[in-house]
A and B are shown apart, each in its own frame.
Chain A
Amino acid sequence: MIDSDEALTEPVLEVDGLRTHFFTKAGVVKAVDDVSFTVGRGEVLGLVGESGSGKSMTGYSLMGLIDPPGRIVDGSIILDGIALRTLTPEQQRHMRGNRIAMIFQDPMMTLNPVLRIDVQMIEAVLAHKHVTREVARARAREALVKVGIASPDERLQAYPHQFSGGMRQRVAIAIALLNRPDLIIADEPTTALDVTIQGQILYEIQKLTRETGTALIWITHDLSVVAGLADRVCVMYAGRIVEQGSCEEVLAHPAHPYTQGLLDSVPANNERGQRLKQIPGMTPSLLDLPPGCPFRERCSYADAECEVSPEMRPAGGPGQSVRCFHPLVPVHS
């Protein structure tokens, strides 16, 4: 794995000012609102947030998978020098599964139940590469071995229902790896799995990013997974990144009151028998969100200043920045 300083010098993905809005009858839902971040080669970026924070929609926006009434209204997405938003749909299709791949949450839904694994995998190779079926098959087998599937030749002949949940997720990861993409977006891939199986998947992922140098965006609500896996973390709230920085800095010295609140709410961080520290209230509706900091209603530091929306500014450790007027760590001018 490349350390974060080196990764910053050579980003494989640069997202700047991304805005994805949904134009519904009830109003405009700003699911992703001014999101900017970079991911370096071989780097693991954890995208953390609660449900409705826009973390999955950020992933879908990068893949170009936003359906109407949703639309990317602003911002740029640059993958290895290619501006993804300027591409035609056909060119975008050529990027998906080839240069940029996604692993979805539910391994039961991602695989076609009526096609054998080999058919699905070979199809994915042939869609992007001019190779023979034999070469494609060999590559599919190689990918299965990489994700730790025993007896790959027999497994290629099997249908998805013959696999367990953990194995299906391994197959989904193998498919994402097939064309050796520059970037993999993983949307809560271990949420549906048991702890011991989740451990196995995380082990494989960690090994793969180390070996192949593929950049990885790991979308999750589970701070403990991010703590062990990610190099850098972006914390999202109500469609915005409220804090980003190295995993160590953000989790040990959170700058945003929301990050602090999230960490305090984790039962493992609390004394038994003591009241859990909780964030009051609930996530605001993204429909016609009032201006200003979206967290101010739940924040104990909020004052009149928070009525206007804060900008991202550097604070705390190197590479750490926060979108808050009252950060919990010193701000750099």
Chain B
Amino acid sequence: MTADVSALVELKGVSKRFVKSLDLAAKIGNRFGAGMKEEVVHAVDNVNLVVAPGEVVGLVGESGCGKSTLGRMTVGLLPLSSGERFWQGESLAGQDAGTARRQQLKMQMIFQDPYASLNPRMRVLDIVGEAPVAHGIIRGTQQVEYVGLMLNRVGLDPTLMRRYPHQFSGGQRARIGIARALAVKPQFLVCDESVAALDVSIQAQVLNLFMELKGALNLTYLFISHDLGVVKYISDRVVVMYLGRVVESAPSAELFAQPNHPYTQALLAEAGKVTPAKRTFVPIKGEIPSPLDPPSGCHFHPRCPHAMTKCREAVPPLIEIAPGQMSACFLNTP
């Protein structure tokens, strides 16, 4: 496979399948013809993703659409079931352990829950300072000074470094999570719902911090969120996922001005605007289907107002409908 050399990170045809294998009872049952099958969840199904250096890519979707799984695969926290991962045009598969280890440091993740993602028994000094010492970025004797520098950078008082996570507020903990990711000098950050747990006024502070750091450290972000307001504000390009597949991808301005896929249109219609106008809520029909048993063809067809027979039978390909705008819908190919 050839890769895009200008891209910082590229995913090609990646899939993630979670398989619940048969237990003993089911295996015995099958001996007697029970016909039990393994349960397979296609969390991510043949996704291509390109992130250019310095770009902020927003990844949007509802719960269970596979956006977090894709984020974890991007940084290498989850192995790929199929497909390939590239860093600056070089495949990350089959590297020797040492290279892979150094490579890994360039990609870091900031997690969703600022409460659960920090070890409650470790001091901030160790939470932030452990990885750079372990990876030989700094010497053990420099740890205090280095952690102080990192805390300053994310807007925390360095004198608090000997405290435990429970002594901080939600917004401060989010900052500790960011400092921990930055401590190993990454070039690429995956932010998985990093501001979802914060109040609006604190969320604004953390989003501002993300943008400041991007400028100062020349960072690239994959920003995962269900909040379209946040994604619209922060992203250059937006990728919309539904049940494991990318349904639309476009530059932020185009996507919000002219959403093409019916699912994107529905999402944008539901996204609240803080304009003081009483509105009548017009719901999209139906529930989000279970990824264990997704609908045939286009996954969105049972809820789509434009569904045709074709949509039940075949998967619509993701095709370019305008410069930079890709959409997977049969309405574009009559």
Contact residues of A with B, CB < 8 Å?
Answer: 50-51, 164, 166-167, 194-200, 202-203, 206, 221-225, 227-229, 231, 247-252, 261-270, 272, 275-279, 282-283
Which among A224, A229, A268 is the interface contact of B233 at CB below 8 angstroms?
Answer: A268
Contacting A at CB under 8 A, from B256-308, are 266-267, 269-284, 287-288
Cβ contact within 8 Å between A221 and B270: no
Q: Mark B220-231, 1 if CB is under 8 A from A, else 0.
A: 000000111110
A197-B288, A199-B284 given; A268·B62 CB < 8 A: no
Residues of B within 8 A of A268 (CB): 228-229, 232-233, 271-274
15 residue pairs bridging A and B, Cβ less than 8 Å apart: A164-B287, A194-B288, A223-B272, A224-B273, A225-B272, A227-B272, A251-B274, A262-B200, A262-B201, A265-B201, A267-B227, A268-B229, A276-B207, A278-B204, A282-B201
Residues of A within 8 A of B211 (CB): 275
Residues of A within 8 A of B208 (CB): 275-276, 278
Cβ contact within 8 Å between A203 and B282: yes
Q: How far is the CA of A45 from the CA of B158 in the complex (A)?
A: 44
Cβ contact within 8 Å between A200 and B284: yes
Cβ contact within 8 Å between A282 and B202: yes
Identity of the chain A residue whose Cβ is nearest the Cβ of B212 in the assembled complex:
A275
Cβ contact within 8 Å between B229 and A266: yes
Q: How far is the CB of A265 from chain B (nearest CB, A)?
A: 4
Residues of A within 8 A of B280 (CB): 203, 206
A267-B234, A272-B252 given; A224·B276 CB < 8 A: no
| Count of chain B residues with a beta carbon within 8 Å of a chain A beta carbon | 45
- The answer to whether the Cβ of B53 comes within 8 Å of any Cβ in the partner chain is no
Q: How far is the CB of A231 from chain B (nearest CB, A)?
A: 8
A261-B201, A276-B208 given; A206·B233 CB < 8 A: no
Residues of A within 8 A of B152 (CB): none
- The answer to whether the Cβ of B218 comes within 8 Å of any Cβ in the partner chain is no
Residues of A within 8 A of B267 (CB): 195-196
Residues of B within 8 A of A198 (CB): 270
Q: How far is the CA of A258 from the CA of B330 in the complex (A)?
A: 48
Q: How far is the CB of A225 from chain B (nearest CB, A)?
A: 6
Q: How far is the CA of A261 from the CA of B202 in the complex (A)?
A: 11
Q: How far is the CB of A26 from chain B (nearest CB, A)?
A: 14
- The answer to whether the Cβ of B88 comes within 8 Å of any Cβ in the partner chain is no
Q: How far is the CA of A146 from the CA of B232 in the complex (A)?
A: 36
Q: How far is the CA of A265 from the CA of B227 in the complex (A)?
A: 14
**3 A-B pairs with the lowest CB-CB distances in the bound complex, closest first:** A224-B272, A251-B276, A267-B233
Q: Which label, helix, strand, loop or mixed, suits the secondary structure of the A interface? A: helix
Contact residues of B with A, CB < 8 Å?
Answer: 62-63, 169-171, 199-205, 207-208, 211, 226-230, 232-234, 252-253, 266-267, 269-284, 287-288
Identity of the chain A residue whose Cβ is nearest the Cβ of B205 in the assembled complex:
A278
Q: How far is the CA of A136 from the CA of B226 in the complex (A)?
A: 40
Residues of B within 8 A of A252 (CB): 276
Q: How far is the CB of A276 from chain B (nearest CB, A)?
A: 4
* Contacts A200-B281, A206-B281, A228-B277 supplied; 10 other A-B pairs, CB < 8 Å: A196-B284, A227-B272, A228-B278, A262-B200, A264-B204, A266-B229, A267-B227, A268-B273, A272-B232, A278-B205
Which among B204, B230, B272 is the interface contact of A228 at CB below 8 angstroms?
Answer: B272
Residues of A within 8 A of B62 (CB): 194-197
Identity of the chain B residue whose Cβ is nearest the Cβ of A267 in the assembled complex:
B233
Q: How far is the CB of A151 from chain B (nearest CB, A)?
A: 14
Residues of A within 8 A of B278 (CB): 228-229, 231, 247
Q: How far is the CB of A10 from chain B (nearest CB, A)?
A: 20
Identity of the chain A residue whose Cβ is nearest the Cβ of B288 in the assembled complex:
A194
Q: How far is the CA of A251 from the CA of B274 in the complex (A)?
A: 8
Query: Which residue, A164, A200, A252, A283, has most C-beta atoms of chain B within 10 A?
Result: A200
Q: How far is the CA of A264 from the CA of B203 in the complex (A)?
A: 12
Residues of B within 8 A of A265 (CB): 200-201, 203-204
Cβ contact within 8 Å between B63 and A194: yes
Residues of B within 8 A of A206 (CB): 280-281
Residues of B within 8 A of A199 (CB): 269-270, 281-284
Residues of A within 8 A of B284 (CB): 196, 199-200
Q: How far is the CB of B254 from chain A (nearest CB, A)?
A: 13
Q: How far is the CB of B294 from chain A (nearest CB, A)?
A: 15
Q: How far is the CB of B208 from chain A (nearest CB, A)?
A: 5
